[in-house]
Amino acid sequence: METSSIEINELPVATKILTAPASVEPITMETSSIDELPSSDSNATDNIEAVGEKRKRADEDEKTNLESSDTKITTPSPWWKTSLCSYFRREASCSHGNECKYAHGEAELRMKPDNTWDPTSERGKKAKALKMSEHEEKEEDEVLFTEQMMESIDGDEVSGGSVIDLSLSKCLVHLPNKWQSDELKKFLGEQGVQYKSAKKRRGMIVGFVTFENAEQLQIGVEILDGKTVNSSNVKIADVLPRTFDKNDARKSVKSARDAVTPLAYLSYADQLEQKKTSIGQMLKKLARNARKACPNGNSLPQWVLTSRDRGGLACNLEGIIESPITNGYRNKCEFSVGLSLQGKPTVGFSLGSFCAGVTAVEEPVDCPNVSKIAVQYASIFQKFIEKSKFQVWNRFQHSGFWRQLTVREGRKPGVFSNDEDALTRIAEVMLMVQVCLTGSDEAEVATEFEELAKAFAEGARASSPSLPLTVLVVQNHSGISNVAPPDAPLQVLPIPMSDNGTNQEQTTNVLTEARIHDHINNLRFSISPTAFFQVNTVTAEKLYSIAGDWADLGPDTLLFDVCCGTGTIGLTLAHRVGMVIGIEMNASAVADAERNAMINGISNCKFICSKAEDVMSSLLKQYLDVAQMEEAKPLCNANDDLNKQIPSTEEMTNSEHVADQNLPPSNTRVEELQDNEQKDSSSLEPEKSTKPQFKNVVAIVDPPRSGLHPAVIKALRTHPRLKRLVYISCNPETLVANAIELCTPSFDEPDRGNKNYRGRKKIGIAALARHRAKSMPTSEAFRPVKAMAVDLFPHTDHCEMVMLLER
């Protein structure tokens, strides 16, 4: 690939422009963008007319600015001729002539200031292909395929029950994940490949092929290696024996440290810089896609026009907030249970994805994000399952007993430090062991659980210093993935007390006992086994502080906490607002949120147990529609009924004990919440009148990695009283997609709808958001104001992002 840029003095057309008479008006780049051209991989030619129309709008705005400007620019913009001209590309001519700021052909094209080429150019396409090739080569080197994996896939059995010769077996990588063994065999037949057996499981991108002899293997590899299947190149990998020795590896092998903390080899300053750059790229992506999504014939939003002034960013990136704790910061660690490369039962982290055929599990050695307490409990559990008569879970055969160990830690208030002195800051520990009880004998399981509790208790006491152990829970789950549904059955196991041999008096079926506590901003939070809680609480305090400051809160503010989890955001900001409405679909998390409000004496919060997409629209109407509101009465009166149910701090000699008495068991929370929904609403619902109760309405959303549901986006976008939105995202890709729908101007009625959308395969989430934006009802669009990166996950490539949207 050509990497050197073309200098301006090498371009005859550009030279002519620079030496033109004074009467020629210089070109400024104030309101234009080089990214309005369609990308090479998404309708590069389908929307050329639309692109031309948008460029025409930008040129008209630019011309207006030039006519009103008294300052004459005598030097070209650094972005001059760095993008191909869409007019010239379509018609081989351009009405702008020599004054066009875009390149008329590959010869005039210059490299961008960020050392990249226009993605629609030949050099840009070559650079992208080279980058993808390098990524695939790196990916191939990291893939591990073991003998056991091959034997676990249903397929042709080796004749006579003989042992498979691994030297005659190969693994095919990058196959369509919808294929099964029959499709793989058909593909091999079409390519003229002779083989002995072929196996492929649906949902994976790998397949296994065994050949009759070395000659057949060599011919097959030559035919298959690099063969294109559905735009992906097939790669050939070895099948490693189950007794594989990493020290004698024929290729490099990932460690658990590499798989879990890929940035650990960098200094923390370099990690922050890399993450800040990554968030900046997301903001550029938002500006580019918003330009494409805007209706034709309308002026582009001001924030899109001025994005060039910010280096292509949709809004200002305020910087990145670093984590005060960089080692052992996670208060929740989920350890998989499986077989190592040597075939040994192991508790640790998977070395890759199941889709890619990687199921090997390695111990969490030298993983800087995991606390020493969690590592010690993983070691105790591993020693136990090595002697257990129950088998570890096999994802290929969907069989086994031991599946996963989750370690949750609760720290003391106001104490934080790095992992070196973790025991000084950890007060409580919850262990949750996930098992599959299908086909197990009940009596044998009960005996095994007793032995398990004894092993954990003895292991905790034997450590020096001893480890805290507050509660032990068993979760029953029979699905393929370890991600269990929120209502998966839980059982609390009694933990044997210390040396005198007595047992703790504790029932095993009351889930209200299964909880630990953590602290954020001097508030005490009760956490149940499956409830969401930030894994880095010290940095989360900074995150919530930024969100509250940007939301411009006050006593007359109504705050919607969407996807509230255990209520951490709403409760930490409750003292700054008039009222908080939290929405969460996890019933146990809502129970925790209500409990947390009670034990902290907070009375101006209401939590709704439902999917946000089901209730968001009705809640906005209920609390904000002017026509349905009464003249504001004091908030304390509106909350009288709730206050009667919540004892004051003085009345709570033991707040946690009072909370346990007032709240029913978690397995009845859903029914109770449904039965009392209208009763709870009556105490807080505004009465009818002509004046709103709250002058300022703000929403803070903290959705899962998949982002906000389209119905939630529609409700937030279309309600006129909601003027400010703070979006907290653990996946900036989905934030960009949601922001496209929130910030794109509405289409006129004749243009509304997805008329040109035909359900394209492999469409990106940003492109899908652009199509959905066309169906957005007429409403005022938000605009991105500023963004901040927050490093909640040091040593990993994940980074939290906060964005303020206003209108």
Query: Structure tokens of 209?
Result: 């092929």
Residues 497 and 504 sit within 8 Å (Cβ to Cβ): yes
CA angle 201, 207, 209 (to 5 degrees): 125
Cα separation, 14 vs 651, whole angstroms: 80
Radius of gyration of the chain (CA): 30
Cα separation, 8 vs 24, whole angstroms: 18
**Cβ–Cβ contacts within 10 Å for residue 790, how many?**
25
Q: Which of 85, 730, 743, 799 is catalytic?
A: 730
Alpha-helix residue ranges (DSSP H) falling in 600-709: 612-624, 635-638, 640-645, 655-662, 669-675, 677-684
Type and span of the H or E element at 383: helix 372-387
Query: Structure tokens of 287?
Result: 């500006």
Name the residue among 761, 725, 759 with its Cα closest to residue 741.
Answer: 725
DSSP secondary structure of 156-172 = PPPGGGPPP-GGGEEEE
Residues 413 and 519 sit within 8 Å (Cβ to Cβ): yes
Parallel, antiparallel, or unpaired: how do β-strands 579-584 and 800-806 relate? unpaired
Residue 609 known to be catalytic? no
* Buried/exposed 697-734: b ≥16 CB within 10 Å, e otherwise: bbbbbbbeeebbbbebbbbbbbbeebbbbbbbbbbbbb
The answer to the question of whether 741 is labelled as a binding residue is no
Cα separation, 96 vs 212, whole angstroms: 67
**Residue written as tokens 């692109």?**
51
The answer to the question of whether 61 is labelled as a binding residue is no
Cα separation, 627 vs 600, whole angstroms: 35
* Buried/exposed 497-515: b ≥16 CB within 10 Å, e otherwise: eeeeeeeeeeebeebbebb
Distances (CA, A) of 639 to 573, 596, 673, 683, 693: 17, 17, 18, 6, 13
Cα separation, 623 vs 696, whole angstroms: 12
Cα separation, 412 vs 524, whole angstroms: 10
The answer to the question of whether 212 is labelled as a binding residue is no
Alpha-helix residue ranges (DSSP H) falling in 663-794: 669-675, 677-684, 710-718, 732-743, 765-773
Cα separation, 799 vs 321, whole angstroms: 10
Distances (CA, A) of 33 to 244, 306, 310: 54, 9, 11
Residues 586 and 530 sit within 8 Å (Cβ to Cβ): yes
Cα separation, 798 vs 275, whole angstroms: 8
CA dihedral 428, 431, 432, 436 (to 10 degrees): -170
How are strands ordered across the β-sheet holding 605-609? 316-321, 783-790, 800-806, 724-729, 696-701, 557-562, 579-584, 605-609
Cα separation, 177 vs 183, whole angstroms: 11
CA atoms within 13 A on the CB side of 428: 19
Cα separation, 789 vs 271, whole angstroms: 12
Cα separation, 301 vs 290, whole angstroms: 9
Which residues are annotated binding-site positions for S-adenosyl-L-methionine?
534, 584, 702
Supply the residues annotated as catalytic.
730
